[in-house]
Amino acid sequence: MTKTITQAELRNGSAGVMDALEAGEDFVITRNGKPVGELRPIAPQRNPTVAELKARLAGISRSADSAEERAEIDAVFGEDRIDD
């Protein structure tokens, strides 16, 4: 459930607000009785495992060599000719 607090409560109780954010609470901040912003916790980020990285990279194709890659590019876009 989202808790509504005033600007003064945020200013004077910022440590408690930060603790509550870390615990997963959301806040709506008001100024003169009107909502002006929201505070919500950020989802924790984690580093992927080696197995997850390998799985992600498995779908990326590999070029046999640069000449083959260049031929594919020329087939799509045409050959570059600087000497023309």
Sign of CA dihedral 43, 48, 58, 67: positive
User: What values do phi and psi take at 68, rounded to 5?
Assistant: -65, -45
User: What values do phi and psi take at 41, rounded to 5?
Assistant: -65, 150
When divided into structural domains, the chain yields a total of: 1
Helix, strand or coil for residue 75? helix
* Residue 53, domain member (yes or no): no
* Residue 56, domain member (yes or no): no
- Provide the pLDDT for residue 82: 65
* Residue 45, domain member (yes or no): no
Tens of pLDDT along the chain (84 residues) come to 899 999 999 999 999 999 999 999 999 999 999 999 999 999 888 888 888 888 877 766 665 567 777 777 777 777 766 665
* Residue 77, domain member (yes or no): no
Say if residues 47 and 21 touch (Cβ distance below 8 Å).
no
* Residue 33, domain member (yes or no): yes
Its domain, for residue 33, covers 2-39
Distance CA 76, CA 78 (A): 6
* Residue 66, domain member (yes or no): no
CATH number of the domain encompassing residue 12: 3.40.1620
- Provide the pLDDT for residue 64: 57
